[in-house]
Amino acid sequence: MRATDLPQVRALELFARVSESAFDSLVQAAYLQTFPAQLELIAEGDTADFLYVVVDGCVELFAKSNGRESTIGTVHPGGTFILAAVLKDAVYLMSARTAQKSRILLIPSEDVRTAFESDEAFARSIVVELARCYRTAIKEHKDIKLRTAVERLANRLLRYHQDQGARGNVELPYDKRLIASMLGMTPENLSRAFNTLKPYGVDVQGSCVSLSDISSLTRLAKPNPLIDDRDT
Amino acid sequence: MRATDLPQVRALELFARVSESAFDSLVQAAYLQTFPAQLELIAEGDTADFLYVVVDGCVELFAKSNGRESTIGTVHPGGTFILAAVLKDAVYLMSARTAQKSRILLIPSEDVRTAFESDEAFARSIVVELARCYRTAIKEHKDIKLRTAVERLANRLLRYHQDQGARGNVELPYDKRLIASMLGMTPENLSRAFNTLKPYGVDVQGSCVSLSDISSLTRLAKPNPLIDDRDT
DNA sequence: GTGAAGGCTTGATGAACATCAAGGATTGAG
DNA sequence: CTCAATCCTTGATGTTCATCAAGCCTTCAC
């Protein structure tokens, strides 16, 4: 890794209170690489050789079975993926591909486990991150099991709306194909779900969605902090 | 906690390599209690006052939203629940009720966090357990998103079959109502799914299921170790 | 520009699953 | 044993969602 890249890596929450020596041995054998969009980084079933940390861009986690494929989630700057597999020294349960051009830090698994044992602060960061991943997964699971497709879309729109400053319109952060897969439906059905939401003030123009009746959309969505809030 | 209970608690994997002093301070303020079946232990949204460890019996984790309810998973002896909420000092995302009469250890959250910081071995056990919980959740999520209801049932039957020694029949470990909810379907549909599996050698008699054509059932189920194996 | 490719939408149809209503089977209390 | 309660099953029906097929629309290479 080049010396000029170090500050950006050091600034990641994951390394916030880590000692100099532990940080040095973590990044010493690590790679910071830029990948183009749509590149498959890992495949489910592979052994966990590296921990991946997203520095810039966005990564999609997905899984296949029986010829079907589904998106499990996305990872943003500061987030890690495949952490549990690295800690357990097990195989990956998910595949990952870049959703956009992305800068990603790869740390050899062995070094992660070593630093985990030797550095208190790193261990604590790892646990906090793992707990966050777990709770995110549980929320996703509740979303899928307790809501219909239209409700999931409505709540996701409200979330993006909040994220983007609640200005009455939303820029979809991903392809519709990817959004559909995250929400557990087909692209065709996402299209129809948008139509279903038209009477609730939802108008789609390409990747820009205007929300002209938030209160009515909210009544339909019935958002639940124990599913939709990101950091509870 | 009574002195006679200590050995059984000490023997839990979670405490395996924990120092005497850390163990003592963990159990010092802990409760070991026996609860009857169908008792609600915690409700989603509550603040995480205790870590729960199942010593005997079985606990169901479930969640509600919009008047709907769904089972997220079950916890067996040696397993914990609500670990992530305790570590993050956040609210519970799931409710829990005993599925059977159960003995459960309650450790005050504060003590868990203290022991986590002071005892290496406990910290490691916690991380391993949390990683296991996470991976279990991901597998459940893949199960739901990538399979039909009948496929989920077929794979679950094969799992129970393995667990119970592969003798060609299976004793259902829970009520059908609970199994249906775990598999993300209604009790009516579970009944029909069992009928769908009849041509594959599946015969149900109350809580006893005979599997007379494992290979044909396996062909239908298409089991996937990255979904169905418990400890990969 | 023009053509091709890929993403998105729409319609028609069918499969998967939920809901409602009723009846049968078990279980447990008295 | 008998009754009531609960759980489970079955049938009829309707909703939700996927699939297939076609067409549109944007984008990009040439």
Average pLDDT over every residue of B9-38: 95
What per-residue confidence (pLDDT) applies to B41? Answer: 96
Average pLDDT of every residue of chain A: 96
Who wins on pLDDT, B166 or B232? Answer: B166
- pLDDT at residue B231 tops 90: no
What the block records as the tokens of B156 is: 């679950």
- pLDDT at residue A39 tops 90: yes
Average pLDDT over every residue of A25-34: 95
Q: In strand C, which positions have an atom below 7 A from any protein CB? A: 7-12, 16-21, 26-27
Protein residues with beta carbon less than 7 Å from any atom of strand C: A 175-177, 187-188, 190-192, 194-195, 204, 207; B 68, 148-150, 184-186, 188-189, 206
Q: What are the DSSP calls for chain A, one per residue? A: --GGGHHHHHTSGGGTT--HHHHHHHHHT-EEEEE-TT-EEE-TTSB--EEEEEEES-EEEEEEETTEEEEEEEE-TT-EESHHHHHHT-B-SSEEEESSSEEEEEEEHHHHHHHHHH-HHHHHHHHHHHHHHHHHHHHHHHHHHHS-HHHHHHHHHHHHHHHTTS-SEEE-SS-HHHHHHHTTS-HHHHHHHHHHTGGGTEEEETTEEEES-HHHHHHHH---HHHH-S--
Average pLDDT over every residue of A94-118: 96
**Measured in Å, how far apart are chain A's first and last C-alpha atoms?**
35
Of the candidates B44, B117, B134, which has its C-beta nearest A134's C-beta? Answer: B134
What per-residue confidence (pLDDT) applies to A1? Answer: 81
Report the share of chain A in percent with pLDDT over 70: 100
- pLDDT for A140-154, tens place per residue? 999 999 999 999 999
Of the candidates B45, B68, B130, which has its C-beta nearest A131's C-beta? Answer: B130
What does the DSSP 8-state code read for residue B82? S
Which letter, b or e, does each residue of B127-139 get, where b requires 16 or more Cβ atoms within 10 Å of its Cβ?
bebbbbbbbbbbb
What per-residue confidence (pLDDT) applies to A10? Answer: 96
Which letter, b or e, does each residue of A33-53 get, where b requires 16 or more Cβ atoms within 10 Å of its Cβ?
eebeeeeebbebeeebebbbb
What per-residue confidence (pLDDT) applies to B130? Answer: 97
- pLDDT for A200-223, tens place per residue? 999 999 999 999 999 999 999 999
Is A116 in Cβ contact with B142 (below 8 Å)? no
To the nearest whole angstrom, how far is the Cα of A122 from the nearest Cα of chain B?
A: 12
Report the share of chain B in percent with pLDDT over 90: 96
pTM summary value: 0.96
Of the candidates A83, A124, A146, which has its C-beta nearest B66's C-beta? Answer: A146
What per-residue confidence (pLDDT) applies to A153? Answer: 98
- pLDDT for B135-165, tens place per residue? 999 999 999 999 999 999 999 999 999 999 9
What per-residue confidence (pLDDT) applies to A231? Answer: 82
- pLDDT at residue A14 tops 90: yes
CA→C1' distance for B207 and C10 (Å): 47
What per-residue confidence (pLDDT) applies to B84? Answer: 98
Domains of chain A in start order, with CATH, are: 3-145 (2.60.120.10), 147-228 (1.10.10.10)
Average pLDDT over every residue of A177-183: 98
What per-residue confidence (pLDDT) applies to B208? Answer: 96
- pLDDT at residue B51 tops 90: yes
* Residue in chain A lying closest to B126 (CA): A127
Chain A positions in Cβ-Cβ contact with residue B70 (cut-off 8 Å): 142, 145-146
Reference A125, options A8, A10, A3; nearest CA is: A10
CA→C1' distance for A202 and C5 (Å): 30
Chain A positions in Cβ-Cβ contact with residue B227 (cut-off 8 Å): 65
- pLDDT at residue A11 tops 90: yes
Is B65 in Cβ contact with A222 (below 8 Å)? yes
Q: What is the three-class DSSP state of B162?
A: helix
Determine the nucleotide nearest to A185 by Cα–C1' distance: D17
Determine the nucleotide nearest to A196 by Cα–C1' distance: D16
Q: Best of A86, A93, A120, A139 to disrupt the B interface by mutation (most B CBs within 10 Å)? A: A93
Chain B positions in Cβ-Cβ contact with residue A146 (cut-off 8 Å): 63-66, 68-70
* Residue in chain B lying closest to A129 (CA): B88
To the nearest whole angstrom, how far is the Cα of B5 from the nearest Cα of chain A?
A: 30
- pLDDT for B203-212, tens place per residue? 999 999 999 9
Reference A216, options A165, A154, A140; nearest CA is: A154
Chain A positions in Cβ-Cβ contact with residue B128 (cut-off 8 Å): 87-88
Average pLDDT over every residue of A182-201: 98
- pLDDT at residue B232 tops 90: no
* Residue in chain B lying closest to A113 (CA): B124
What per-residue confidence (pLDDT) applies to B189? Answer: 98
Chain A positions in Cβ-Cβ contact with residue B66 (cut-off 8 Å): 146-147, 151, 222, 224
Average pLDDT over every residue of A94-117: 96
What per-residue confidence (pLDDT) applies to A65? Answer: 95
Chain centre to alpha carbon of residue A141: 14
What per-residue confidence (pLDDT) applies to B215? Answer: 97
What per-residue confidence (pLDDT) applies to A2? Answer: 85
Of the candidates A94, A130, A227, which has its C-beta nearest B138's C-beta? Answer: A94
Other Cβ atoms less than 10 A from the Cβ of B87: the count is: 24
- pLDDT for B219-230, tens place per residue? 999 999 999 998
What per-residue confidence (pLDDT) applies to B53? Answer: 98
